[in-house]
């Protein structure tokens, strides 16, 4: 069943739905933190990325069901690549706008230098994948997938540490946390769909080449839903929770999702996949160095954008 469309206004509808979803998830982070008496940082890092990655997970599962392994693996590889090339620039743009709107003190997110450690932990697992060609090392690839899954489970257990959390003064909007979770996931999915439709319609209305418009804007439309919680936290000057959400995404993209695909034997190392992984590793390495040296997050954004353009020239144009 296709969605009802409203021309270029689909873009506005999509943005509103995504922001609405992000607010719901942000409220859920604080509620779950209090309910489970676990650190807010830990809940934001684990819980928010799982919800915001629901659309990508659905694509992965549907592709598996239809027997299209290439699309399934492409969905997995795209995540660390997009995180390195598009998500960081969007985060920096958000903090820049928020700073000049008087919502935060610094232009760039300020983090403890120890944040470099989880960034390293979730970048390194991508490197061995480059050498585990399924045609020659199928069994090793499956074993490595299991190791990645185990690593993510250990990470979750350690991060969700017990912490005394005071009861919230304000309730979340939809009162029932299960209903709020379902509505948040639905809103983020529909928001992403409407944003893509709206971008395509803009090309028609203003006579802009749709291919060029899609290459430039659709990645941003797909990134905003999965990063919206981090964006909201950062816009409010809550850098720990915002960066924690981004790190949580890297954890999923660097361990859990590749682990699932490799354990099932659903992965390939064609040139496009290899290049996406290499770019993700290189840009992440630069980000790690800057975080360790200066305690600033998102400084690799210009390099990520250049890498994204390079990838387009290599495999799309």
Residue with token string 């399924």: 134
Q: What is the pLDDT of residue 212?
A: 60
State how far the Cα of 196 lies from the Cα of 214, in Å rounded to an integer.
8
What average pLDDT score do residues 311-316 get? 81
CA atoms within 13 A on the CB side of 211: 3
What average pLDDT score do residues 299-311 get? 93
pLDDT band for position 246 (50/70/90)? Answer: confident
Q: What is the pLDDT of residues 197-226, one digit of tens each?
A: 787 777 777 776 665 665 556 666 667 777
Domain 9-315 grouped into CATH 1.20.1420.30? yes
Alpha-carbon Rg for the chain in angstroms: 19
Q: What is the pLDDT of residues 81-128, one digit of tens each?
A: 888 898 889 899 999 999 999 888 889 999 888 888 888 988 999 999
Q: Taking the mean position of all CA atoms in its chain, how far away is CA 42?
A: 16
The answer to whether 249 and 87 have CB atoms below 8 angstroms apart is: yes
- DSSP type of residue 114: G
Q: What is the pLDDT of residue 142?
A: 95
The answer to whether 15 and 232 have CB atoms below 8 angstroms apart is: no
Residue with token string 């709020």: 180
Return the higher-pLDDT residue of 168 and 81.
81
Give the sign of the dihedral formed by CA 82, CA 83, CA 85, CA 86. positive
What average pLDDT score do residues 61-75 get? 79
Q: Indicate the domain borders of the chain.
A: 9-315
Q: What is the pLDDT of residue 159?
A: 79
pLDDT band for position 168 (50/70/90)? Answer: low
Residue 169 reports pLDDT greater than 70:
no
Q: What is the pLDDT of residue 252?
A: 86
Return the higher-pLDDT residue of 36 and 1.
36
Helix ranges (H only) for the chain are: 9-36, 40-52, 54-65, 69-82, 88-100, 116-123, 126-129, 134-159, 177-205, 210-235, 239-251, 257-263, 271-294, 301-315
The model's pTM is 0.79
Q: Select from 181, 250, 160 the least CA-distant residue to 27.
A: 181
- DSSP type of residue 166: P
Mean model confidence pLDDT for the chain: 84
Q: Select from 156, 96, 87 the least CA-distant residue to 121.
A: 156
């Amino acid at each position: 069943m296709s969605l009802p469309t409203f021309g270029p206004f689909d873009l506005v509808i999509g943005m509103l739905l995504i922001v609405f979803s992000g607010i719901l998830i942000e409220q859920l982070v604080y509620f779950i933190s209090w309910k489970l008496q676990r650190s807010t940082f830990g809940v934001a890092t684990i819980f928010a990325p799982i919800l915001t990655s629901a659309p990508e997970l659905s694509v992965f599962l549907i592709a598996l069901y239809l027997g299209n392994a290439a699309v399934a693996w492409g969905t997995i590889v795209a995540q660390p690549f997009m995180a390195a090339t598009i998500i960081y620039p969007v985060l920096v743009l958000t903090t820049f706008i928020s700073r000049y709107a008087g919502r935060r003190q610094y232009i760039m997110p300020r983090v403890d230098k120890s944040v470099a450690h989880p960034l390293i932990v979730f970048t390194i697992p991508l490197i061995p994948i480059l050498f585990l060609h399924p045609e020659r090392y199928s069994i090793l690839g499956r074993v490595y997938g299991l190791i990645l899954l185990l690593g993510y489970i250990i990470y979750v257990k350690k991060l969700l540490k017990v912490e005394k959390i005071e009861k919230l003064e304000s309730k979340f909007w939809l009162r029932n946390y299960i209903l709020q979770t379902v509505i948040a996931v639905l809103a983020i999915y529909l928001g992403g769909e409407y944003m893509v439709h709206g971008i395509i319609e803009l090309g028609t209305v203003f006579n802009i080449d749709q291919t060029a418009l899609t290459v430039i804007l659709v990645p941003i439309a797909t990134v905003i839903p999965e990063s919206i919680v981090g964006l909201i936290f950062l816009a409010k000057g809550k850098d720990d929770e915002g960066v924690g959400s981004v790190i949580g995404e890297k954890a999923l993209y660097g361990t859990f999702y590749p682990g699932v695909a490799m354990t099932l034997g659903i992965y390939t190392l064609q040139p496009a996949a290899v290049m996406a992984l290499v770019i993700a590793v290189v840009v992440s390495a630069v980000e790690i160095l800057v975080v360790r040296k200066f305690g600033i997050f998102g400084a690799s954004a210009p390099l990520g954008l250049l890498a994204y353009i390079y990838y387009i020239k290599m495999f799309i144009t």
